[in-house]
Amino acid sequence: MTEYSVLIGGKAGDGIAQAGQLIASIFSDLGYYVYQYVDYPSLIRGGHNFCIIRAAEKPVFTHRTGVDLILALDQKTADLHIHNLTTQGTVIYDSPKVKSEGQALAINEILAQYKGRPIMGNTAMVGGFCGCVGIPWSLVEAVIRKKLPKETDLNLLIAREAYSRITRCISVQPVEGASPRPLLSGNEWIGLGLLAGGIDAYVAYPMTPSSGVLHFLASVADEAGIDVVHPESEIAVILMALGFAYAGKKTAVGTSGGGFCLMTEGVSLAGMAELPIVIVLSQRGGPSTGLPTYTAQSDLLFTCHAGQGEFPRFIAAPATPLEAFWWAAEAVQLAWKLQIPTFILSDKTFSEGIYTPEAEPEIRATTPLPAPSYPYKRYADTPDGVSPILVPPYSGEVVKVNSYMHDYSGITSEDPEMTVAMVQKRLRKAEKLATMTDQPGAVVCGGSVKAKTAILCWGSPRGVCSEVADELGLRLVSPVVLSPFPAGEFRRSMQGVEKVILVEDSSTGQLDKVLAREGYRTDELILRYDGRPFAVEELVERVRRVAS
Amino acid sequence: MTEYSVLIGGKAGDGIAQAGQLIASIFSDLGYYVYQYVDYPSLIRGGHNFCIIRAAEKPVFTHRTGVDLILALDQKTADLHIHNLTTQGTVIYDSPKVKSEGQALAINEILAQYKGRPIMGNTAMVGGFCGCVGIPWSLVEAVIRKKLPKETDLNLLIAREAYSRITRCISVQPVEGASPRPLLSGNEWIGLGLLAGGIDAYVAYPMTPSSGVLHFLASVADEAGIDVVHPESEIAVILMALGFAYAGKKTAVGTSGGGFCLMTEGVSLAGMAELPIVIVLSQRGGPSTGLPTYTAQSDLLFTCHAGQGEFPRFIAAPATPLEAFWWAAEAVQLAWKLQIPTFILSDKTFSEGIYTPEAEPEIRATTPLPAPSYPYKRYADTPDGVSPILVPPYSGEVVKVNSYMHDYSGITSEDPEMTVAMVQKRLRKAEKLATMTDQPGAVVCGGSVKAKTAILCWGSPRGVCSEVADELGLRLVSPVVLSPFPAGEFRRSMQGVEKVILVEDSSTGQLDKVLAREGYRTDELILRYDGRPFAVEELVERVRRVAS
Amino acid sequence: MTSDETIVTQTQNTWCPGCGNFAIQHAMKFVIQELEAEGMARDHFVLVSGIGCHAKIADYFQLNSFYSLHGRTIPVATGIKMANPNLKVICFAGDGDLYAEGLDHLIHAAKRNLDITVICHNNRVYGLTTGQYTPTSPYGYQGKSTPNGLHEYPLNIIELLLGAGATFVSRAYTRRLPHLKRIFKEAIMHQGFAHVDVLQICASFFNATTWYDERVYETNESNAGLFEFACRTAKQWNYNDDTKIPIGIFFQTRKPVLPEKKIQKEVDRGVIVKKILEKAT
Amino acid sequence: MTSDETIVTQTQNTWCPGCGNFAIQHAMKFVIQELEAEGMARDHFVLVSGIGCHAKIADYFQLNSFYSLHGRTIPVATGIKMANPNLKVICFAGDGDLYAEGLDHLIHAAKRNLDITVICHNNRVYGLTTGQYTPTSPYGYQGKSTPNGLHEYPLNIIELLLGAGATFVSRAYTRRLPHLKRIFKEAIMHQGFAHVDVLQICASFFNATTWYDERVYETNESNAGLFEFACRTAKQWNYNDDTKIPIGIFFQTRKPVLPEKKIQKEVDRGVIVKKILEKAT
Ligand SMILES: Cc1ncc(C[n+]2csc(CCOP(=O)(O)OP(=O)(O)O)c2C)c(N)n1
Ligand SMILES: Cc1ncc(C[n+]2csc(CCOP(=O)(O)OP(=O)(O)O)c2C)c(N)n1
Ligand code: SF4
Ligand code: SF4
Ligand SMILES: [Mg+2]
Ligand SMILES: [Mg+2]
* Of A183, A229, A399, Cβ closest to residue C82: A229
CB B471 within 8 A of CB B377: no
Mean pLDDT of chain C: 96
Subunits with 3+ Cβ pairs within 8 Å of D are: A, B, C
Q: What residue's CA is closest to ligand 4, atom 1?
A: D127
Q: What is the DSSP pairing of strand B453-456 with strand B85-94?
A: unpaired
CB pairs under 8 A between A and D: 71
Q: Do D14 and A219 touch (CB under 8 A)?
A: no
In A73-112, DSSP assigns E strands to 85-94, 103-105
* Helical (H) or strand (E) element with A279: strand A277-283
CA distance B482 to D85: 38
- Write the secondary structure of B89-103 as one string of H (helix), E (strand) and C (coil): EEEEEECCCCCCCCE
Assess B398–A contact: CB distance below 8 Å, yes or no: no
Mean pLDDT on B175-184? 95
Closest CA to B73 of B52, B91, B56: B91
- Helix or strand (DSSP H, E) at A364: none
Number of C-beta neighbours around residue A80 at 10 A: 16
Cβ neighbourhood burial of C11 (10 Å; 0-12, 13-18, 19+): middle
* Torsional class of A307: left (φ above 0), alpha (ψ -120 to 50), beta (otherwise): left
| Residue-level pLDDT at B45 | 80
Q: Which of D238, D241, D236, D243 is nearest to D220 (CA)?
A: D236
Q: Do C273 and A192 touch (CB under 8 A)?
A: yes
CB contact under 8 A, A206 and D145: yes
Question: With an 8 Å Cβ cutoff, are A393 and C87 in contact?
Answer: yes
Q: Which atom of ligand 1 is nearest to the CA of C94?
A: 15
Which parts of B407-527 fold into alpha helices (H)? 416-437, 462-472, 487-494, 510-517
D135, D255, D258 ranked by CB distance to C111: nearest? D135
Mean pLDDT of B481-499: 98
Task: Calculate how far, in angstroms, residue A71's C-alpha sits from the geometric centre of ligand 5.
Answer: 64
User: Is there a contact between C92 and A257 (Cβ–Cβ < 8 Å)?
Assistant: no
Distance D78 CA to ligand 4 centre (A): 27
Find chain D residues with C-beta within 8 A of A218's C-beta.
144-147
Min Cα distance D237 → chain C (Å) is 13
pLDDT at C61 over 90: yes
Distance CA C16, CA B118 (A): 14
ipTM of the complex: 0.98
How far apart CA D26 and CA D181 sit, in angstroms, is 9
Mean pLDDT of B247-252: 98
Buried b or exposed e, range B376-397, using 16+ CB within 10 angstroms:
bbbbeeeeebbbebbebbeeeb
Check: CB of residue A44 under 8 Å from CB of residue D203.
Answer: no
Q: What's residue D2's pLDDT? A: 53
Instruction: Return the closest-CA partner of residue B132 out of B71, B64, B223, B41.
Output: B71
Supply the DSSP string of B233-265, one letter for each residue: SHHHHHHHHHHHHHTT--EEEEE-HHHHHHHHH
Q: pLDDT tens for residues A381-395?
A: 999 999 999 999 999
pLDDT band at C3 (very low <50, low <70, confident <90, very high): low
Residues of B with Cβ-Cβ distance to C56 under 8 angstroms: 43
> Is the Cβ of B288 closer than 8 Å to some Cβ of chain A?
yes
Spatial separation of the C-alpha atoms in residues B95 and C119, rounded to whole Å: 43
The whole-chain average pLDDT of chain A stands at 96
D152 contacts on C by Cβ (under 8 Å): 111-112, 258
Q: How far, in Å, is the centroid of ligand 2 from the Cα of D137?
A: 15
Chain B 484-523, CB below 8 Å of chain A: which residues?
Answer: 506-508, 513, 516-519
CA of D93 to the centre of ligand 6 (A): 8
Instruction: With beta carbons less than 8 A apart as the criterion, state whether A452 and A497 touch.
Output: yes
How many whole angstroms separate alpha carbon D265 and alpha carbon B152?
Answer: 33
Residue B12 CA to its chain's centroid (Å): 22
Beta strands in chain C (DSSP E): 45-49, 64-67, 88-94, 117-122, 168-173, 194-199, 216-218, 245-252
Residues A474-505 have pLDDT tens digits of 999 999 999 999 999 999 999 999 999 999 99
Cβ atoms < 10 Å from Cβ of B39: 23
Closest CA in chain D for residue B143: D281
Q: Give the model confidence (pLDDT) of B48-79 as tens digits.
A: 999 999 999 999 999 999 999 999 999 999 99
Q: 3-class SS at A181?
A: coil
Residues 2-21 of D with CB under 8 A from B: 9, 11
Residue B123 has pLDDT above 80, yes or no: yes
Mean pLDDT of B521-536: 97
Closest residue by Cα to residue C27 from C77, C90, C73: C90
CA distance A484 to B214: 38
Question: In chain B, which among 407-446 make CB contacts under 8 A with chain A?
Answer: 414, 416-417, 419-420, 423-424, 426-427
Q: Which ligand is located closest to the Cα atom of residue C102?
A: 1
Q: Using DSSP bridges, classify how beta strands B251-255 and B227-229 pair: parallel, antiparallel or unpaired.
A: unpaired
Is a pLDDT exceeding 80 seen at residue B513? yes
Q: What is the pLDDT of residue D3?
A: 60
- Three-class secondary structure of residue A236 per DSSP: helix
Q: Are strands C194-199 and C216-218 parallel, antiparallel or unpaired?
A: unpaired
User: Nearest-CA residue of chain A relative to B505?
Assistant: A309
Cβ atoms of residues A269 and A297 within 8 Å: no
Structure confidence by residue, pLDDT tens digits, B159-170 = 999 999 999 998
Euclidean distance between the first and the last CA atom of chain D, given in angstroms as a whole number: 66
| E strands present in B48-133 | 48-56, 67-72, 85-94, 103-105
- Which residues of chain D register pLDDT less than 70? 1-3
How far is B106 from A254, CA to CA, in rounded Å?
63
Q: Is C84 on the interface with A (CB under 8 A)?
A: yes
- Among C36, C66, C97, most A C-beta atoms within 10 A, so best to mutate, is C66
Candidate of C12, C53, C120 to mutate for ligand 3, largest count of ligand atoms within 8 Å of Cβ = C53
Coil, helix or strand at residue B313: coil
Contact indicator for D164, C160 with CB cutoff of 8 Å:
yes
How far apart, in whole angstroms, are the C-alpha atoms of residue B267 and residue B263?
6
What pLDDT score was predicted for residue A122?
A: 96
Taking the Cβ of residue C126 and every Cβ of chain B, the question of whether any pair is shorter than 8 Å is answered with yes
Q: Which of A305, A427, A516 lies nearest to residue B507, judging by beta carbons?
A: A427
Is C56 in CB contact (< 8 Å) with chain A? yes
Interface of C with D in 153-212 (CB under 8 A): 153-156, 159-165
CA atoms within 13 A on the CB side of A136: 7
Give residue-wise pLDDT tens across range D228-273: 999 999 999 999 999 999 999 999 999 999 998 777 777 899 999 9
- List of chain C residues whose C-beta atoms are within 8 Å of the C-beta of residue B12: 14
Mean pLDDT of B435-442: 98
The reported pLDDT for the residue numbered B213 is: 98
Pairing of strands B184-185, B443-447: unpaired
Quick one: closest CA in A to C108, which residue? A232
Q: Mark which residues 470-509 of B lie under 8 Å from D by CB.
A: none
What's the distance, Cα to Cα, between the start and end of chain C in Å? 66
- Count CB neighbours of D76 within 10 A: 32
Question: Pocket residues for ligand 2 (CB within 6 Å)?
Answer: A 205-207, 234, 258-259, 262, 289; D 50-54, 70, 94-97, 121, 123, 125-129, 134
Q: What is the pLDDT of residues A292-345, one digit of tens each?
A: 999 999 999 999 999 999 999 999 999 999 999 999 999 999 999 999 999 999
Question: How many angstroms from the chain centroid is the CA of residue B298?
Answer: 15
Does the beta carbon of C146 lie under 8 angstroms from any beta carbon of chain B? Answer: yes
Percent of chain B whose predicted confidence (pLDDT) is above 90: 95
pLDDT beyond 90 at C7: yes
In this complex, the chains that touch B, judged by 3 or more CB pairs closer than 8 A, are A, C, D
Looking at beta carbons, which residues of chain A come within 8 Å of B315?
Answer: none
Residue A181 has pLDDT above 60, yes or no: yes
Partner-chain contact D14 A46, CB within 8 Å? yes
- Cis-peptide, bond into residue D256, ω within 30° of zero: no
Ligand nearest to the CA of residue A46, numbered in listed order: 4
Instruction: Calculate how close chain D gets to C14, using CA atoms only, in Å.
Output: 31
**DSSP per residue over A482-527, as a string?**
EES--HHHHHHHHTT--EEEEEESSSS-HHHHHHHHTT---SEEEE
Domains present along chain A, CATH in parentheses: 3-165 (3.40.920.10), 184-355 (3.40.50.970), 443-547 (3.40.50.920)
Q: Is the peptide bond before A393 cis (omega within 30 degrees of 0)?
A: yes
Q: How many Å apart are CA A117 and CA A345, to the nearest integer?
A: 40
Which among C56, C103, C144 has the least Cβ separation from residue B232?
C103
Burial of C256 (0-12, 13-18, 19+ CB in 10 A): middle
- Chain A interface, mutation test: which of D11, D12, D14, D126, most A Cβ atoms within 10 Å? D14
Taking the Cβ of residue A222 and every Cβ of chain D, the question of whether any pair is shorter than 8 Å is answered with yes
Would an 8 Å CB–CB cutoff place C51 in contact with chain A? yes
**Exposed e or buried b per residue across B489-516, where buried means at least 16 C-beta atoms within 10 angstroms of its C-beta:** bbeebbeebebbbbbbbbbbbbbbbbbb
Whether B218 and B190 have beta carbons less than 8 Å apart is answered as no
* Per-residue model confidence (pLDDT) at position C265: 73
Q: Is the dihedral of CA D24, D26, D31, D32 positive or negative?
A: positive
Q: Which of C97, C141, C145, C206 to mutate to test the pocket of ligand 1 (most atoms within 8 A of CB)?
A: C97
Q: Which residues, 6 or more positions from C239, have their beta carbon under 8 angstroms from its beta carbon?
A: C124, C136, C138, C154, C155, C156, C157
- Taking a C-beta distance cutoff of 8 angstroms, is the pair B268, A284 a contact? no
Which range, of A242-256, A356-370, B441-455, averages the lowest pLDDT?
Answer: A356-370
Give the pLDDT score at C2. 54
- What is d(CA B64, CA B82) in angstroms, rounded to the nearest whole number? 14
Architecture (CATH level 2) of domain C5-279: 3-Layer(aba) Sandwich (3.40)
Long-range CB contact pairs, A376-380, < 8 A, 24+: A377/A408, A377/A409, A377/A410, A378/A408, A378/A409, A378/A410, A379/A274, A379/A406, A379/A407, A379/A408, A379/A409, A379/A410, A379/A422, A379/A425, A380/A408
